[in-house]
Structure 1
Amino acid sequence: MLDSHTNCVCHRPDPAATRLLWVAIALIASFALTEAAIGWWSHSLALVAEAGHMVSDAFSLGLVLVASWLARRPASLQASFGYRRIEILAALGNGLVLVGIALTIATEAIDRLQTPPSDILSLPMLITAAIGLSVNSLNVFLLHNHTHNDLNLRGAVLHMIADAASSIGVILAAIAVSLWHWNWADGAISLLVALLMLVAAVPLIRQSLHILLEKPPTHLNVSEIEARLQQFDGVVSVDRLRVWSIALGQDAIAAHLIVNLAEGDDRDRLLRQIETAIGQEFGLHESFLQLSGVVPPPVINLSQARLLNLSVGELR
């Protein structure tokens, strides 16, 4: 008989973060439309690029809300781990969308570097970029403290940090166009915005894939966990050890432990000790442990063995 136990500590979305997300989406979406219109009117690709980045911000924040809503659904027989992986899928989609927008902007920016436009309106470009910097800085300030256990929200905030940096670049480009007529600066800053978007997207995609492929969390050492399990009195060996993340901040462990304890209270007590220890020391609050006794070696009956040898000899 195998002893097994599951211990689950489930994640709950932060209501304060949800309210702030709605505020951020309203600010970003309204300003992005305004910025795109002014960018088109002022012939500034840098503004249009930043507006496109902000549209992706609003989209990613919307994904955060949808994923958080779905993640509230309880686990069931059809979804035994619940729906928190939807947040990871949304984060992956967010990163891929960001890469697509970045490549589109980079292509157009390279064309502008080769043939800089001559009719860029620097003053509207400067004022709009300054407002964009304020909007993105405010949103980063409001949402930053809520990103620690939410990969999707972290990705959205990374978008806004990149936007704030790109706003500074657009401001510098507007000054260069106004003072020295360096119209190529608009294309150069657009290319920089695209690179910032890629820099923000690659770690997000990598971490999402890491979780979806069920690799061990990067902050945990599986060898250390195995060694710790073998330190418990009664544990003979550790077999089929698995450590993975169900979602960000929700790590799990599964293992088969061979013990020299008989079934009953002693084995149950050991199981509780192990669960408490790995939860406190490694943050592994989702545990799937099987305990089984040592299989004794087969007992050989000497008289039966002697008869068997005689029978084999007669056949020869």
Structure 2
Amino acid sequence: MTALTPDPSLHALLLQDVARHYGSPHAPVKALDGVDLCVPRGQLFGLVGHNGAGKSTLFKLVLGLVRPTRGQLWVQGIEVGGPAFRQARQRLGYLPEHLALYDNLSGLETLQLFARLKSADAARCLPLLDELGLGAAARRPVREYSKGMRQRLGFAQALLGEPGLLLLDEPTSGLDPAATRDFYATLDRLRQRGVTMLISSHVLAELEQRVDALAMLSAGRLIAQGSVADLRARCTRPLQVQVSATPEVLDGLPATLAPLGLQPQRTDAGRLQVDCPRELKLPLLARLAAQPLADLQVQEPTLETVYFDLREAA
């Protein structure tokens, strides 16, 4: 049975069999190799992968900076590289991992320059700097900005022109915890307005609790796509369950859990750890619930653990 072709107009971003190869045709470097990806409108969508996995190449393809070796891409229903894409690109916002800035310009002058290049409303520049905590430094030269301030200025230029799709490459690099919290609060507000955001980050713990869904890349290929819960369900690594109880209760738990084939191990004083396959999670918790425990903690595999597990299985 032939698979139905997705309707590009229903997605913020759609890639079909997209490849980008460099070098000799006889021995190409496959930066991307046959990627199919759908990003629904209005989502905060994560892009995960090690250095060289193809994340930056994917961004360049979406922006039309490089052409695919094969395949097709659509951004908000418009084919990348097609006759209507030049105008559609004005509704894209992009924060590169390494943003080049003119140190002698002030923050406000920098943003006004980007506004002219993007044909965006220059009147939005100062309010944008205020919203991102740079209002007091708007007229200071960029050479006096810290790395975190430069990163926020880069984020401000990405927001010019009311973009419908934001591409954010390592956007929290250089931000302290408070600034990172404020950054994601801004993303939440944008998501409520229907803006779609594609965010690449090596800090997987940041994405784990925040993204609606994500895609995992390895060596130019898409190895998995879905919500964090969906991807965890595919992970073969066990959950870790730790319990606290009196020594007498802990001593009796191995016999209680033996019918499940589980072998708990003592950790520190008053705690016991059980490595549990996902399919035994509920039977394990049912048996533990019948015990007089002082505490119980369930630790799911982290997103980093899930990534490496699925990468090994690909």
TM-score normalised by length of structure 2: 0.25
Larger C-alpha radius of gyration, 1 or 2? 1
Judging by fraction of residues, say which structure has more strand.
2
Pick 1 or 2: higher relative contact order, CA cutoff 8 A, min separation 6.
1
TM-score normalised by length of structure 1: 0.25
